[in-house]
Structure 1
Amino acid sequence: MDLPGCDPDKLDRTYAQFAVVNRAVSGWRGIYVSQLRPRLRPGTPATLLDIGCGGGDVPIMLSRWAARDGLRLEITAIDPDPRASRFAAERHPAAGVRFRQATAADLIAEGLSFDLVVSNHVLHHLAEDELPVFLAESAELCRGRVIHNDLRRSPAAYALFYAGALPFTRSYIRQDGLTSIRRSYTAAELRAAAPPGWIVRRRAPFRNLLVLDRTAHG
């Protein structure tokens, strides 16, 4: 689905189905409750940046959970792919969420910063020399906590997704998901690749969280 010539209808179905898959297995509800919500205060607006937001389902979920808890969360969600940005802007209107076709470097050049920075399923897409740049940019954009949520490679994860994604044959979900699992890090590999100050936390099912607390490390 990263290729520029992929089928546009199939790609749109993939973005739409990501909402189902992410809600089921990406663990964002637990991340919101344990990592994000404790940093939000009633009556005090907080800002969050989602880097590589794809079809936009994760920022929409976060916005709705925060609103349900009486918390004000202003979200900027960016993706450099014009196809993803178009889908997100057209299909996911929500108060407090702004979608942009942009890169992290673009926002740094604009002098922006955010209380929280997150990403979902981005790390495994990066080449070895791209990872440190991505982490440095996300840290520069953040005043508080950075959380990169990604897959954790294992034979069990691959086998379970191979079987569980059979219903998603009319999109790129199954094909892309299996490739993503093969390319993802084990927890030990991610610890070795991450710069000092970043912490790897294993979460179920088959997740790695790569976390940087800017308030602790400056």
Structure 2
Amino acid sequence: MTDRIDLSARAVDLRELMDDPHCDPATLDRTYRRFAVVNAAVSGWRAVWQTHVVPALPATGRARVLDLGCGGGDLARSLSRWARGDGFDLEVVGVDPDPRAIRAAERLSAPGVTFRQQSSAELVAAGERFDVVVSNHVLHHLDDAERHAFLRDSAVLAGSRSVHSDIRRSAAAYRLYAIGSVLVTAGTFIREDGLRSIRRSFTVPELAAALPPGWRAESASPHRVLAVRG
């Protein structure tokens, strides 16, 4: 399969099916419900929580964390769960400008987690501040201007650190996802959109070149790239 796919450069003209405002609502609903399973397997966020988020939290143990582009809310809920297990009193706010995502996120609750239909620009305008700002699988969706604004807003909103995690494009990532996703993605957009996401995503050098001053690009496992500030 990878022999027929050009992974030498970002396929920025590809559009993910679930980004279509007119996509099938039942399939989209199943997609949001299945995200927690898929992200738990491929996102690597448990390690990022330990290596990048925890060291940036206040010594008091009380903190606010913002999940930008929260989608179905699985990362926000996971952060709350890990924080409780590690003895932190965490307020997690998940925001997404897409009302469909917020409706999906609000189906499941978690202690200290709230969801809002808002953009990063609206949070900045409201004077919101958070100790740490995170996102998962957002950067590859954005064009150059959108990414610049997203990172600018993130830097303003974060008092300590911003960590944005995404897929690291490679033939290995594409091949493994193409094979493994068949098992858990039937009836959803997740397999097709995941393959498109990999093709749209950054390598570490590409992300480093696209980041503004003050940010750094890091490699993470499995097949992940991080944009980190602070």
Deviation at 1:201, TM superposition (A): 0.8
Is 1:76 aligned with 2:93?
yes
Is 1:93 aligned with 2:109?
yes
Q: Which residue of 2 aligns with 1:141?
A: 157
Alpha carbons 1:80, 1:101 under 8 Å: kept: yes
Alpha carbons 2:57, 2:132 under 8 Å: kept: no
Superimposed CA distance per residue, residues 91-128 of structure 1 (whole angstroms, 9 cap, x where no aligned partner): x2111001000000111111111000000000000012
Q: Which residue of 2 aligns with 1:186?
A: 203
Query: Any unmatched runs of 5+ in structure 2?
Result: 1-17
Is 1:122 aligned with 2:138?
yes
2:176 to 148, 160, 180: 160
Alpha carbons 1:85, 1:100 under 8 Å: kept: yes
Structure of higher RCO (CA pairs closer than 8 Å, 6+ residues apart): 2
Q: Which residue of 1 aligns with 2:67?
A: 50
Alpha carbons 2:61, 2:87 under 8 Å: kept: no
Query: Any unmatched runs of 5+ in structure 1?
Result: 214-218
Following the alignment from structure 1 to structure 2, what is the Cα–Cα distance between the partners of residues 189 and 94? Answer: 36
Is 1:7 aligned with 2:24?
yes
The SS at the match of 1:32 is: helix
Deviation at 1:196, TM superposition (A): 1.2
Letter in 2 for 1:52: G
Deviation at 1:39, TM superposition (A): 3.0
Following the alignment from structure 2 to structure 1, what is the Cα–Cα distance between the partners of residues 104 and 95? Answer: 12
Following the alignment from structure 1 to structure 2, what is the Cα–Cα distance between the partners of residues 41 and 196? Answer: 25
Superimposed CA distance per residue, residues 51-108 of structure 1 (whole angstroms, 9 cap, x where no aligned partner): 0000000010010010111211101100010010011012x21110010000001111
The SS at the match of 1:165 is: helix
Superimposed CA distance per residue, residues 139-158 of structure 1 (whole angstroms, 9 cap, x where no aligned partner): 01111000000001111111
Identity %: 53
The SS at the match of 2:161 is: strand
Following the alignment from structure 1 to structure 2, what is the Cα–Cα distance between the partners of residues 38 and 135? Answer: 21
Alpha carbons 2:208, 2:217 under 8 Å: kept: yes
Is 1:19 aligned with 2:60?
no
Following the alignment from structure 2 to structure 1, what is the Cα–Cα distance between the partners of residues 106 and 99? Answer: 10
Deviation at 1:41, TM superposition (A): 5.0
| Cα RMSD for the two superposed structures | 1.1
Deviation at 1:16, TM superposition (A): 1.1
Alpha carbons 1:147, 1:212 under 8 Å: kept: yes
Letter in 1 for 2:205: A
TM-score normalized by the length of structure 1 = 0.94
Alpha carbons 2:168, 2:201 under 8 Å: kept: yes
TM-score normalized by the length of structure 2 = 0.90
Following the alignment from structure 1 to structure 2, what is the Cα–Cα distance between the partners of residues 41 and 128? Answer: 33
Following the alignment from structure 1 to structure 2, what is the Cα–Cα distance between the partners of residues 128 and 109? Answer: 22
The SS at the match of 2:196 is: helix
Alpha carbons 2:132, 2:161 under 8 Å: kept: yes
Q: Which residue of 2 aligns with 1:216?
A: none
2:118 to 102, 109, 127: 102
